Amino acid sequence: MSQLFQPLRQRDIVLRNRIAISPMCMYSSVDGLPGDWHLVHLGSRAAGGAGVVMTEAAAVCAEGRISPQDAGIWNDAQAVAWAPVARFIAGQGAVPAMQLAHAGRKASTHAPWRGDGAVPLADGGWTVVAPSAEAYADHYPQPLELDADGIARVVADFRAAAARALDAGFQLVELHAAHGYLLHQFLSPLANRRDDAWGGGFEGRTRIVREVVSAVREAWPERLPLWMRISATDWVDGGWDVEQSVELARGVKALGVDLIDVSSGGLDRRQEIATGPGYQVPFAARIRREAGIATGAVGLVTEAAQAERIVATGDADVVLVARQSLRDPYFPMRAAKALGVTPAVPVQYQRAWGD
């Protein structure tokens, strides 16, 4: 019996299988609003049989966008625009999920196909913020260091965004604390040079994450799951590492996080990553084992047997699929067939999926 296609209960929500569509930026929004592209893109992955379909990183404030074309959830108009997307995903039997994010010093940058580095203020860019006044790279924006009031606003923005996600009909939210964005910047000593209550040692550097989790849990119902994505390591000596990730996972579990979505890297351009199929799975396995929390594994998961093995061996509870789902929106249905499971096929498509 396939373990990948066993349901998973998290609080009052049941995932129909262990495949989640990972957040992937589309750089296709105007004023943070999702549009037809998002409905079709995310809706097709829900029709494709995934257990969870997660939006791209939705910025919790305008200055938290990665690019001017990023989606957001910082105002009510955006919540209204997201509602039909969440409704369609749920209607296909998948759990509609939203990732809440703030890009910090990696904000106000170009969409990938428009170039690299900072968007000038004259072209729609903006002033960015970070734990410390150090740019990600020479051609990236120079950030302003957040003061205590600014940190409080960030925490409040995450809380308000969670409330709007709930109003829009999402049943799961994920906090983005990975890939060199704002929360990860606070976590890593390579980006956080502060010597106040939000810097220095582990307790200080992880403080904002704990504050955000607690604030979001105030707005997000107890009956609904809360996930958090982290980079388990910076892949740079002296940076954030898997030992600290385990300790963070223990702490946020006690505050109400239900699953750690385990990625890596993205904070420092000196990173050296030896990639390969499932290269991040050992991090998910270690955090699951040592922190006693459910984990998701992501990164070059492209085959049904590979995904099955990750779950069946207990390395992770969920497999998140990203680029493979761009190549094949129906990867979950194909994986089910390959593993001898009857796929969850919309009635409109069943005539094409019979034996």
Task: Give a yes or no: residue 2 inside a domain.
Answer: no
Q: Average pLDDT of 41-52?
A: 97
Residues 148, 208: contact at Cβ < 8 Å?
no
Residues 161, 74: contact at Cβ < 8 Å?
yes
Task: Give a yes or no: residue 305 inside a domain.
Answer: yes
CA 227 to chain centre: 8
Q: What token pair was written down for 227?
A: 């996930």
Task: Give a yes or no: residue 316 inside a domain.
Answer: yes
- Please state the domain count of the chain: 1
Domain, as residue range, for 261: 8-350
Q: Determine the Cα–Cα distance for residues 37 and 23; give it in Å rounded to an integer.
A: 15
Q: Determine the Cα–Cα distance for residues 250 and 120; give it in Å rounded to an integer.
A: 41
CA neighbor of 100 nearest in space, from 79, 126, 130, 128? 79
User: Which tens digit of pLDDT belongs to each residue from 162-219?
Assistant: 999 999 999 999 999 999 999 999 999 999 999 999 999 999 999 999 999 999 999 9
User: Which tens digit of pLDDT belongs to each residue from 226-269?
Assistant: 999 999 999 999 999 999 999 999 999 999 999 999 999 999 99
Q: Please report the pLDDT score of residue 95 as a whole number.
A: 98
Check whether 354 has a pLDDT greater than 80: no
Q: Please report the pLDDT score of residue 150 as a whole number.
A: 98
CA 79 to chain centre: 18
Task: Give a yes or no: residue 3 inside a domain.
Answer: no
Q: Determine the Cα–Cα distance for residues 317 and 202; give it in Å rounded to an integer.
A: 27
pTM comes to 0.96
Q: Which CATH number belongs to the domain containing residue 329 in this structure?
A: 3.20.20.70
Half-sphere exposure of 335 (CA within 13 A, CB side): 30
Q: Please report the pLDDT score of residue 274 as a whole number.
A: 83
Q: Quick one: angle between helices 148-168 and 207-219, nearest 10? A: 30
Check whether 353 has a pLDDT greater than 90: no
User: Which tens digit of pLDDT belongs to each residue from 58-117?
Assistant: 999 999 999 999 999 999 999 999 999 999 999 999 999 999 999 999 999 999 998 889
Q: Please report the pLDDT score of residue 186 as a whole number.
A: 98
For 254, residues 6+ apart whose C-beta sits below 8 A from its C-beta are none
Which stretches does DSSP call E strand in the chain? 8-10, 13-15, 19-21, 52-59, 95-101, 129-130, 144-145, 172-177, 226-231, 259-263, 294-298, 318-321
**Helices (H), ranges, 22-128:** 36-47, 76-91
| Of 218-222, 251-255, 272-276, the least confident | 272-276
User: Which tens digit of pLDDT belongs to each residue from 133-167?
Assistant: 999 999 999 999 999 999 999 999 999 999 999 99
**Where is 205: in which H helix or E strand?**
helix 202-205
| Catalytic residue positions, numbered | 181
Task: Give a yes or no: residue 355 inside a domain.
Answer: no
Task: Give a yes or no: residue 1 inside a domain.
Answer: no
Reduced to 3 DSSP states, what percent helix, strand and coil does the chain have, rounded to the nearest 5? 40, 15, 45
Q: Please report the pLDDT score of residue 355 as a whole number.
A: 63
Check whether 292 has a pLDDT greater than 90: yes
